[in-house]
Amino acid sequence: MRRAFTLIEMIIVLTVGSVLTGIAVSLLVVLLRAERSGSEHVENSTVIGCLADQFRRDVHAATKPPEINGHGIVRFASGGPVVQYTIDGRDVRREKIMADKSVGRREEYRLPKDWTAAVETDATTKPAIVRLTVGPQDAALRSAHEIRVEAVLGRDGRFAVLTAEEK
């Protein structure tokens, strides 16, 4: 007599196999989501870090306080080309404008989703401090996740052209 599997045994084996496959697929989805989240975090950190470094260099090279208008445009004058930051929602564009009004170099920084940037000057201090604030638009999250980049205006004297009264 040949031994065969019963229908119940087959159903149990298929059920156990299905459960194990479901667990494996769920784990794979969780790992892929964590990897995507981690890579987005690294990308966002890199973008904000590059923006912060460039902003500090521009403020340190500036000879006059920045011109800030209400439409998200900030201009730094350094005796040479003018550097202009345009803040439009989560996009921050940096342009180096040459003496003939042409754009010498353009860089774009894309902030994380639902984040924004703002520039303000504290002229009460000597020398003036310029602050770039990057953070979530949601006021409840802003205080916990806000990033502030502060730089002293005209700190890097190599690029500054001193006036007669400053000498």
- How far apart, in Å, are the Cα atoms of 110 and each of 78, 90, 94, 124, 147? 25, 6, 11, 31, 15
pLDDT digits (tens, 9 = 90+) for 63-97: 888 888 877 788 887 777 889 999 988 899 999 98
Rounded Cα gap, residues 96 and 3, in angstroms: 83
> Per-residue pLDDT tens for 28-51?
999 999 999 999 999 989 999 999
- Domain ranges (residues) in the chain: 32-64+110-152
Helix (H, G, I), strand (E, B) or coil at 129: strand
pTM for the complete prediction?
A: 0.73
What the block records as the tokens of 157 is: 């004297």
Are 148 and 131 within 8 A, CB to CB?
yes
Is pLDDT of 12 > 60?
A: yes
Residue 10 confidence (pLDDT) above 90: yes
